[in-house]
Amino acid sequence: MPKTRQSAGTTKKDTNPLEGSRAKGSGSEPQMQHEPKPPFPKQKQSGVGLESQLQPKPRYQASKYKPAGKLEGKCALITGGDSGIGRAVAVLYAREGADVAISYLPEEQSDAEETLRAVEAEGHRCVLLPGDLSEAKFCDELVEQTVNELGKLDILVSNAAHQNRKKSLEELTDEELETTFQVNILAYIRLSRAALRHMKAGAAIIATSSETGIMGSAQLPDYSATKGAINAFTKTLAQNVIEKGIRVNAVAPGPVWTPLNPSDDGMTPEKVAEFGKQAPIGRPAQPEELAPSYVFLASDADSSYITGIVLQVMGGETTGG
């Protein structure tokens, strides 16, 4: 696999027809004010959703981000790395010098192949490991396959999630409740347990939480509960492994433009068109605005004194404490 480093912002074409050229985003305008704002085209997806079907296409290229070899020689496993936040993290980890493995559901193969292309364009390896994280066995196999393919595991990003809005708790079936807990929190715990068998001092575990785990969310009872559990488990595991020199943190995003919400059964095309408007910043985050936090928390030189935090990336939403 070629290891030629390509400088950020010069190698990949902008694939977003509605958002203008990539060069626009890499100019002098502040990124904070120039990411896409609602209204978006009305749209709806079923199943897990595909990034390739979203309009406008989520921005994961992070053309303004300048790499500094922060993850040189590291190997990372990123669940849900086919699309959304996970894809953006995979690309920035590669830009910072890491090889990555990504997991996703088999029906997301086309999105996963796009991530692979983007990671390889950064000069690094991307191993594709499809499977269902709601199966306990797959969580163990995923970690083992990653170590077999990449040789070791330095960074685990537990990022996959299942989410469907409901009008009331009555609408929550036992099957849905179990799936949400299996994918969002049980997989995080199982993957961490398996990963720790291989991790050495300097390793990092990072989970994707959500603002709903801090503030609650009326229509997401099961999902919000798993995100609260992710926060508590992150703090607990951080305390448990600190003496091994391993750090454990979470990132809590506000609304992000990814397939997750357009494919949420409880979302309408009209609601998707307004997605993120309620955030203080007036728009959803783009995945490229989340990924640098995952680099920061993975990088020993940047965050060696930080473990057990839930880093809020919430577009101006503030919480007590």
Residues with a catalytic annotation lie at: 223
Q: How many CA atoms lie within 13 A of 2 on its CB side?
A: 9
Report if residue 94 touches ligand NAD, rule: CB under 6 A. no
Nearer to ligand NAD by Cβ, of 286 and 299: the residue is: 286
Helices (H), 242-318: 269-273, 287-298, 300-303
Dihedral sign, Cα of residue 230, residue 232, residue 235, residue 236: negative
**The residue count for the chain:** 321
Report, in Å, the least distance between residue 92 CB and ligand NAD. 14
Q: Which of 115, 210, 231, 312 binds ligand NAD (CB under 6 A)?
A: 210
Partner from ligand NAD, Mg ion, none binding residue 124, C-beta < 5-8 Å depending on class: none
Report if residue 82 touches Mg ion, rule: CB under 5 A. yes
Report if residue 26 touches ligand NAD, rule: CB under 6 A. no
Q: Which of 96, 108, 122, 211 binds Mg ion (CB under 5 A)?
A: 108
Report, in Å, the least distance between residue 305 CB and ligand NAD. 25
Report if residue 104 touches ligand NAD, rule: CB under 6 A. yes
Whether residue 172 contacts residue 221, with contact meaning beta carbons closer than 8 Å, is answered with yes
Partner from Mg ion, ligand NAD, none binding residue 85, C-beta < 5-8 Å depending on class: ligand NAD
Report, in Å, the least distance between residue 226 CB and Mg ion. 18
> Which residues in the 270-299 window bind Mg ion by CB under 5 A?
none
Residues contacting 278, CB < 8 A, separation 6+: 255
Residues contacting 233, CB < 8 A, separation 6+: 185, 188, 189, 192, 207
**Which range, of 12-20, 23-31, 90-98, 157-165, touches ligand NAD by CB under 6 A?**
157-165
Token couple for 301: 């030189």
> Which residues in the 229-288 window bind ligand NAD by CB under 6 A?
253, 255-256, 258-261
Report, in Å, the least distance between residue 276 CB and Mg ion. 19
Q: In 154-184, which positions are buried (b, 16+ CB within 10 angstroms) versus exposed (e)?
A: bbbbbbbbbbbbbeeeeeeeeebeebbbbbb
Q: Do strands 99-104 and 204-208 pair parallel, antiparallel, or not at all (unpaired)?
A: unpaired
Phi, psi of 142 (to 5 degrees): -60, -45
Catalog residues that contact ligand NAD under the rule CB under 6 A: 48-49, 80, 82-86, 104-105, 108, 132-134, 159-163, 183, 208, 210, 253, 255-256, 258-261
